[in-house]
């Protein structure tokens, strides 16, 4: 009976994933940011000689008649239109009409791993979301957990701002997304837009999940054993160099009544024998914040920027 129930739940979840992915795919691309190797179609109503199809260079630039070299990387299509229109109106036309269409999107790669039907590395184009990635991977397996990890590697050095280069603050980020909140309750704020190099990991249920500033974030099997918070952190390779182990947070979700609980633990005091090593339970989520910040919520605020996770509203 449990196996049949698990099959029904997985089927219902995957149907919602497919519907959510379909809805996301129909959404507008107005907020897509132009990137290197994109192909743009530029049209100027006042003079068809200015109409041109151009490939964005690896430096993020395009070359247009009359205007020369323009930097477009990181702009939306409407922002590129406005830039070209403003430049043309300064010297050549009064109130020119400009349209910019993204004809080809650069190829990007994302990885979908863990308890999905078709784990693989996928080549994508344009804007894709978490639900679309899960749909591409064939949906969830029956033993999939109710959360997933979205691991975002640091940007290549050439894409870093000068400030980040100097302070060396660009690091990999781990987002924890509650699939029940996203798929069942329809909290579309959690349906994050994916970037090149993103890794989606759907762990198997019956595990403890460790994220944040640890060396190897992910889900780790409990196998009926007693596991404490310090042991869970050790399973994740230990604290990362910039971690603040004094304010580790354990998120616990009760399937019976939907109640959520947050437990704060000090890994340093536990290791020194000055505090009790809190026991974790199956499907607990342990998050280690960045050193120098006041607690988990401040770190999560900067990382997730207003998303609703685990049923909590983070500001």
Q: What is the CATH number of the domain that holds 236?
A: 3.10.560.10
Instruction: Kindly calculate the radius of gyration of the chain based on its CA atoms and give it in whole angstroms.
Output: 23
Domain count, the chain: 3
Domain coverage including residue 82? 39-104
Q: Is 131 helix (H, G, I), strand (E, B) or coil?
A: helix
pLDDT at residue 185, as a whole number: 82
14 shares its domain with 130: yes
Residue 11: count other Cβ atoms within 10 Å of its Cβ: 13
pLDDT at residue 299, as a whole number: 47
What is the rounded CA–CA span in Å between residue 21 and residue 128? 9
Contact 280, 290 (CB under 8 A): no
245 shares its domain with 267: yes
Counting as low any pLDDT under 70, the low residues of the chain are: 1-31, 107, 155-171, 223, 254-259, 292-315
235 shares its domain with 313: yes
273 shares its domain with 166: no
pLDDT at residue 152, as a whole number: 86
Q: What are phi and psi of 152, to 5 degrees?
A: -110, 110
Encoded tokens for 52: 């041109």
110 shares its domain with 183: yes
pTM for the model stands at 0.57
Contact 260, 251 (CB under 8 A): yes
Q: Is 91 helix (H, G, I), strand (E, B) or coil?
A: helix
pLDDT at residue 220, as a whole number: 86
pLDDT per residue as tens digits for the range 52-103: 999 999 899 999 998 999 999 988 889 999 999 999 999 888 889 999 998 8
What is the rounded CA–CA span in Å between residue 96 and residue 281? 63
The string of DSSP letters for 183-211 reads IIS--GGGSPBP-TT-EEEEPBSSEEEEE
pLDDT at residue 206, as a whole number: 80
13 shares its domain with 109: yes
pLDDT per residue as tens digits for the range 24-43: 544 445 567 888 888 999 99
148 shares its domain with 220: no
81 shares its domain with 120: no
pLDDT at residue 294, as a whole number: 44
284 shares its domain with 190: no
214 shares its domain with 299: yes
Does residue 80 belong to any structural domain of this protein? yes
pLDDT at residue 84, as a whole number: 94
224 shares its domain with 310: yes
48 shares its domain with 71: yes
Does residue 31 belong to any structural domain of this protein? no
Four-residue CA torsion sign, 47, 52, 56, 59: negative
């Amino acid at each position: 009976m449990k196996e049949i129930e698990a099959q029904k739940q997985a089927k219902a979840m995957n149907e919602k994933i497919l519907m959510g992915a379909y809805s996301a795919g129909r959404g507008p691309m107005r907020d897509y940011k132009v990137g290197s190797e994109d192909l743009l179609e530029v049209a100027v109503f006042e003079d068809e000689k200015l109409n041109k199809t151009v490939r964005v260079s690896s430096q993020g630039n395009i070359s247009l008649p009359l205007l020369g070299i323009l930097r477009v990387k990181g702009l939306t299509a409407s922002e590129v239109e406005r830039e070209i229109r403003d430049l043309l109106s300064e010297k050549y036309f009064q109130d020119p009409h400009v349209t910019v269409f993204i004809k080809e999107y650069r190829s990007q790669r994302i990885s979908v791993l863990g308890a999905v039907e078709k784990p693989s590395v996928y080549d994508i184009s344009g804007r894709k979301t978490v639900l679309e990635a899960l749909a591409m991977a064939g949906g969830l397996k029956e033993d999939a957990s109710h959360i997933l990890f979205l691991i975002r590697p640091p940007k290549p050095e050439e894409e870093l701002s000068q400030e980040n280069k100097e302070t060396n603050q660009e690091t990999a980020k781990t987002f924890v997304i509650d699939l029940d909140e996203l798929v069942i309750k329809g909290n579309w704020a959690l349906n994050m837009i994916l970037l090149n190099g993103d890794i989606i990991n759907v762990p198997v249920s019956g595990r403890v999940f460790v994220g944040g500033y640890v060396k190897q974030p992910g889900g780790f099997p409990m196998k009926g054993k007693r596991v404490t918070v310090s042991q869970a952190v050790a399973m994740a390779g230990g604290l990362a160099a910039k971690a603040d182990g004094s304010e580790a947070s354990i998120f616990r979700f009760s399937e019976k009544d939907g109640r959520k609980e947050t437990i704060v633990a000090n890994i340093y005091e536990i290791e020194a024998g000055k505090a009790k090593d809190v026991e974790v339970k199956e499907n607990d989520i342990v998050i280690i914040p960045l050193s120098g910040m006041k607690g988990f919520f401040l770190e999560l605020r900067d990382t997730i920027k207003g998303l609703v996770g685990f049923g909590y509203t983070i500001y």
